[in-house]
Amino acid sequence: MPAKNGFTLIEMLISLSILLLLLCIPLILFPSMTNNSFHSDVVARQIKDDLLFAQQTAMSQGRQTYVRFNQNTYRVQFSVSEIILQRESIPHLSARSSSLPLQSISFQPSGHPTHSGQFFVTIGEQTYRYTIYLGKGMISYAKQ
């Protein structure tokens, strides 16, 4: 005897299968579209945090602290032989100077930057503009 007030089991299974397929399409497409952008944003935030770390280290240790960028890596250091922090193997990382030469990124023992200005960091396909202002804790970045 057919059901008069509802769906049969077959109809319910077909409806759920169609709904499941529709829900899986974004899960398959979106991670590949946003994964690189998300990774770039995380690395960009990490660079800003490491710049602030360099500034705090200069104040706490009472020594001038430098930030140096190379191909796919950057480091925070007191001198060439005294590396405090090094981030390596960051895919497609490159930095270029604008109004702040890359070799001039350093913080005095008081925590103040030795120079102010801007530089650009490209991570994958995303480019970020970093600005270091004169004064303690004044570092910002923005996606271009």
- pTM beyond 0.85: the answer is no
Confidence grade of residue 88 (pLDDT, cut at 50, 70, 90): confident
Assigned domain for 11 exists: no
Helices and strands in the chain: count of H runs, count of E runs: 1, 8
Where residue 77 sits, what CATH number does that domain have?
3.55.40.10
Q: What is the pLDDT of residue 24?
A: 85
Assigned domain for 100 exists: yes
Q: Kindly tell me if the per-residue pLDDT of 6 is higher than 80.
A: no
Assigned domain for 93 exists: yes
Q: What is the pLDDT of residue 33?
A: 55
Alpha-carbon distance of 35 to 19, in angstroms, equals: 25
Range of the domain at 107: 36-143
CA Rg value for the chain: 25
Assigned domain for 102 exists: yes
Instruction: Please tell me the total count of domains within the chain.
Output: 1
Assigned domain for 55 exists: yes
**Which of 33 and 36 is assigned the larger pLDDT?**
36
DSSP string, 43-72: HHHHHHHHHHHHHHHHHHHTS-EEEEEETT
Assigned domain for 79 exists: yes
Assigned domain for 111 exists: yes
Q: Kindly tell me if the per-residue pLDDT of 31 is higher than 90.
A: no
Assigned domain for 87 exists: yes
Query: Percent helix, strand, coil in the chain (nearest 5)?
Result: 40, 30, 30
Q: Kindly tell me if the per-residue pLDDT of 1 is higher than 60.
A: no
Q: What is the pLDDT of residue 35?
A: 62
- CB-based contact 27:20 (threshold 8 Å): no
pLDDT in tens, 36-85: 778 889 999 999 999 999 999 999 999 999 999 988 899 999 988 899 99
